[in-house]
Amino acid sequence: MSGDTIKIFHGPQHPGVTGNMSMELDLDGETIVKAVTHVGYLHRGFEKLIERRTVIQAFTIVCRICVPEPDPNEENFARGVEELMGLEVSERAQFIRVMILELARLQAHLLWLAGQGGSIGHEIVPQWAVGERDYILDLFEAITGGRVYHMYIYPGGVKRDLPEDLPEHLTRLLDTLEGRLPEYDRIFFDNAAVKKRLQGVGVVDADDCIRNGYAGPVVRACGIPRDVRKDAPYLVYDRLDFDIPTQTAGDAYARALVRRAEMDQSIRILRQVLEQLPEGPFQCKLPKHRNFKVPKGETYVQSESARGAFGYFMAGDGTAHLRRLQVRGPSIVHAYTLLEPLLEGAQLADVALIMNSLGICPPEIER
């Protein structure tokens, strides 16, 4: 503390903090004059942990890089290995991967909605959203055997085929969500108190988005329709019909509206996957685990997570290990380049709202 300012730590125990991170804040009354991000040490060092394990052993680690949405990590890792090894993934496996990724996006947006509602003090929203998310976790458990960590998207395809009754359960879930989302509009997105708390808060400039490499709802809320699924299609996204929602205000409310619209698009994609899902193998023929070697070479793969573009650089050296792995998630620029200046001049009560609106996952930073 110096002069008229006081220093406090906002998190990691604060319920409005996204994950195990903390903001060191210098306050002049309720106004923030300086903000410094501390990302914590719960999950860290993933890249070196993976490089010191065989590819098959590393497969079980990558999902920890972002707990709220682990599946893009699994898909990037598997696709990178496939490109290095020249493995061809069946159409059925690609459609199943899209299904998993879009379910992951839906549950991640519901978890975000729960956090944002709780940060405002709108307690019915987190109760509803967490309950809705649990129905998606039930599906994950039926498909993969796990609710949060799935370890399902595997090099060469997926670990096992879909349950026979999965289409029926997924259709029922999508019908339930479509019926529930207008209720979220009524009590949250169209709520005058919510608009008063979010509109004009945490405003991001479109030019800054391009200059600093921001991603996901942050850039789409500034009117930039950037999405890896459209810009550099992977799996079978180029065969599916969906839109990229955008807003122009660039504030926390615009980012909320983008996420809300993306939930509609994920439901739209999932219905198409159910209609077009082909028969066929769910896994290609792989070498025996003892002979699983990654040829020399390099590749970079990326996917669109709920938080934005998520990329993996991978280099093989002819052994069972990767010579180099580097993960590039959106959180590193959102938590430092963006969050710190956004908080300067903001009110203490808005810290959690701004942080949640950016979609930060701390282990992506300390990876």
- Per the prediction, the chain carries an average pLDDT of 92
Residue 2 has pLDDT above 60, yes or no: no
Q: How far, in Å, CA of 208 to CA of 338, rounded?
A: 9
Which tokens belong to 111?
């978890």
189 secondary structure, DSSP code:
I
Which tokens belong to 239?
């065969």
Among the listed residues 241, 213, 247, 215, the one whose alpha carbon sits nearest the alpha carbon of residue 228: 215
For 107-111, 277-281, 328-332, which range has the lowest pLDDT when averaged over its residues?
A: 328-332
Block residue for tokens 């709802």:
217
| Residue 327, H or E segment | strand 322-328
Which tokens belong to 358?
């950016």
Domain architecture of the chain: domains with CATH: 6-364 (1.10.645.10)
Q: How far, in Å, CA of 364 to CA of 310, rounded?
A: 10
In what order do the strands lie in the sheet containing 22-28? 6-10, 22-28, 31-38
Asked if residues 19 and 363 have their Cβ atoms less than 8 Å apart, the reply is yes
Query: Which pLDDT tens digit goes with each residue over 121-170?
Result: 888 999 999 999 999 999 999 999 999 888 999 999 999 999 999 999 99
What are 154's strand-pairing partners? 157
User: Which percentage of the chain shows pLDDT scores above 70?
Assistant: 98
Predicted structure pTM score: 0.95
Distance of CA 54 to the CA centre of its chain: 26
Residue 335 has a pLDDT of: 84
Query: Which pLDDT tens digit goes with each residue over 258-283?
Result: 999 999 999 999 999 999 999 999 99
Asked if residues 326 and 313 have their Cβ atoms less than 8 Å apart, the reply is yes
Query: Which pLDDT tens digit goes with each residue over 186-228?
Result: 999 999 999 999 999 999 999 999 999 999 999 999 999 999 9
Residue 1 has pLDDT above 70, yes or no: no
Asked if residues 66 and 334 have their Cβ atoms less than 8 Å apart, the reply is no
